[in-house]
Amino acid sequence: MPKYRYKQRLKEILASGKKVNSLTRYLLLETGYSYEKAIKGLEPFVSEWEERAKYIEEAKTTDIGYSEEYDYDLWARSVLYCVMKHAPEEEQGKFSDRITYADQRFKNATDECSLCNNHVDNPDKEIHWWLFRVNKE
């Protein structure tokens, strides 16, 4: 659906009196999510990162290594980073412990490296730290 239609749908949602916060607005306009999916907020993104971190933690290097599967795992964290920028502080606070825990599990299962996975244009190693990590051997 073209972005114009996303904007029109957002206008209809607002006219109906439904609540739209900054993250919901972002998800409606930039991803084309339905209102029902967008109002779930950070939950699905945090849950996905938790699942990916657990998978990385439990997987053997030979299972994922530098494969597309590992790229997919990192993509979940990149998407979470992106949506976090649009989430209200209150919602971010609600999930901060879960994100921190998943991040720590991921860090414990991986080693820092100088090469990065390119899910973000011109990634900054301080900001996009997960892109500069590989599975422990």
Give the model confidence (pLDDT) of 84-126 as tens digits: 999 999 999 999 999 999 999 999 999 998 888 766 677 888 9
Same domain, yes or no: 78 and 27 = no
Kindly state whether residues 33 and 78 are assigned to the same domain. Answer: no
Same domain, residue pair 123 and 58: yes
Could you list the residue range(s) of the whole structural domain that residue 114 is in? 43-135
Euclidean distance between the first and the last CA atom of the chain, given in angstroms as a whole number = 44
Statement to judge: residues 33 and 91 lie in one domain? no
Rounded CA separation 88/72 (Å): 26
Q: In the prediction, which pLDDT does 60 show?
A: 63
Global confidence as pTM: 0.88
- Domains contained in the chain, number: 2
How confident is the model at residue 114, as a pLDDT?
A: 85
